[in-house]
């Protein structure tokens, strides 16, 4: 028997329905393979600002399965940028987002929402073996746990985050080998802070970072080209934009441990 889930709501599982012809125009994008995409599985860690800009697009593109994890509840102050509606206020974010994604489907996507943090998924015996993970949480302890866990499993992770002033954001791909998140941010292992509630938040930078994250997923699953594993964007000043190929750091305590 499955152990009980934490949180105020039970997990949700639903399946979308196919719409003939809906994927016709993206199939001709060079490197995009609908058959591969529609049998692929994505795990979204977090179901807030960033994942609200990523998950609906993955579903619209016809992903095979998407699983969402978050223990947070929807508040009115989320509605300026997250894929929730007034009916969702007070509900668990992972469950509410999963429900809202149902109407976005163009294929028979399997959508699961679990009202729990990533760290709680172990005690709830969730077997999380996706093709790609997207980490869109707001704190470093969870990012570190995600980095370590999926490097061990050999599953790529797309990390994305935005700055507290909502001006810049980044996407970093931690692949099966090569640089891990702590190779990019060596101090991350020493940061156990959680952000204060009520920090400024707006949709535009989330959309910009989310777009690169969605593209990065395609490059991991298929043959869409990518020459970088770290991409940084700033809204106010294009000179701050850039990309890099981060290399594994010798002696990195996270991926070498």
Least distance (Å) between residue 186 CB and Zn ion: 9
Least distance (Å) between residue 253 CB and Zn ion: 8
Q: Could you count the other beta carbons within 10 Å of the beta carbon of residue 168?
A: 19
**How would you class 11 by CB atoms within 10 Å of its CB: exposed for 0-12, middle for 13-18, buried for 19 or more?**
buried
* Selected range binding Zn ion among 53-61, 72-80, 163-171, 178-186, rule: CB under 5 A: 178-186
Residue 124 or residue 149: which is nearer to Zn ion going by CB? 149
Residues between 102 and 121 that touch Zn ion (CB under 5 A): none
The token pair at 98 is 């999963």
Give how many residues touch Zn ion by CB under 5 A. 6
Of the candidate residues 44, 106, 146, 182, the single one contacting Zn ion (CB under 5 A) = 182
Those residues whose C-beta lies under 8 Å from the C-beta of residue 207, and which sit 6 or more positions away, are 53
* Selected range binding Zn ion among 136-144, 175-183, 211-219, 238-246, rule: CB under 5 A: 175-183
Least distance (Å) between residue 179 CB and Zn ion: 6
CA 235 – CA 132 distance, rounded (Å): 27
Residue 93 or residue 143: which is nearer to Zn ion going by CB? 143
Of the candidate residues 173, 180, 214, 235, the single one contacting Zn ion (CB under 5 A) = 180
The set of long-range contacts for 26-29, using a CB threshold of 8 Å and a minimum separation of 24, is 26/61, 29/224
Q: Are 216 and 57 in contact (CB under 8 A)?
A: no
Residue 252 lies near Zn ion (rule: CB under 5 A): yes
* Selected range binding Zn ion among 35-43, 131-139, 180-188, 208-216, rule: CB under 5 A: 180-188
Least distance (Å) between residue 248 CB and Zn ion: 6
Residue 197 or residue 251: which is nearer to Zn ion going by CB? 251
Least distance (Å) between residue 184 CB and Zn ion: 8
The set of long-range contacts for 151-155, using a CB threshold of 8 Å and a minimum separation of 24, is 151/176, 151/180, 151/254, 151/255, 153/129, 155/129, 155/130, 155/131
Least distance (Å) between residue 188 CB and Zn ion: 10
Least distance (Å) between residue 183 CB and Zn ion: 4
Residue 96 or residue 184: which is nearer to Zn ion going by CB? 184
3-state secondary structure of 38: coil
Residue 255 lies near Zn ion (rule: CB under 5 A): yes
Number of H helices, E strands in the chain: 6, 9
Task: Report which residue's Cβ sits closest to Zn ion.
Answer: 252
The token pair at 28 is 């001709």
Closest CA to 157 of 137, 102, 168: 137
List of residues contacting Zn ion (CB under 5 A): 180, 182-183, 252, 254-255
């Amino acid at each position: 028997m499955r152990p009980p889930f934490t949180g105020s709501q039970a997990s949700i599982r639903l399946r979308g329905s196919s719409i003939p012809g809906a994927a016709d125009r993206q199939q001709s994008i060079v490197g995009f393979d609908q058959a591969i995409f529609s049998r692929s599985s994505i795990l979204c860690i977090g179901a807030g600002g960033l994942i609200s800009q990523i998950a609906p697009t993955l579903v619209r593109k016809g992903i095979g399965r998407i699983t969402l994890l978050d223990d947070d509840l929807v508040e009115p102050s989320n509605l300026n940028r997250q894929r929730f509606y007034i009916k969702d206020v007070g509900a668990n974010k992972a469950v509410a987002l999963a429900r809202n994604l149902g109407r976005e489907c163009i294929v028979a996507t399997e959508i699961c929402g679990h009202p729990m943090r990533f760290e709680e998924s172990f005690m709830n015996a969730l077997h999380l073996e996706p093709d790609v993970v997207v980490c869109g949480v707001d704190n470093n302890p969870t990012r570190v746990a995600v980095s370590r866990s999926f490097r061990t499993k050999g599953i790529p992770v797309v990390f994305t985050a935005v700055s507290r002033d909502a001006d810049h954001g980044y996407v970093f791909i931690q692949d099966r080998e090569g640089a891990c998140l702590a190779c990019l941010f060596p101090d991350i292992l020493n940061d156990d802070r959680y952000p204060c509630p009520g920090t400024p938040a707006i949709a535009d930078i989330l959309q910009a970072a989310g777009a690169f994250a969605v593209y990065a997923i395609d490059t991991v699953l298929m043959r869409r080209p990518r020459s970088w594993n770290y991409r940084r964007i700033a809204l106010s000043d294009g000179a701050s934009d850039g990309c890099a190929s981060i290399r594994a750091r010798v002696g990195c305590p996270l991926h070498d441990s």
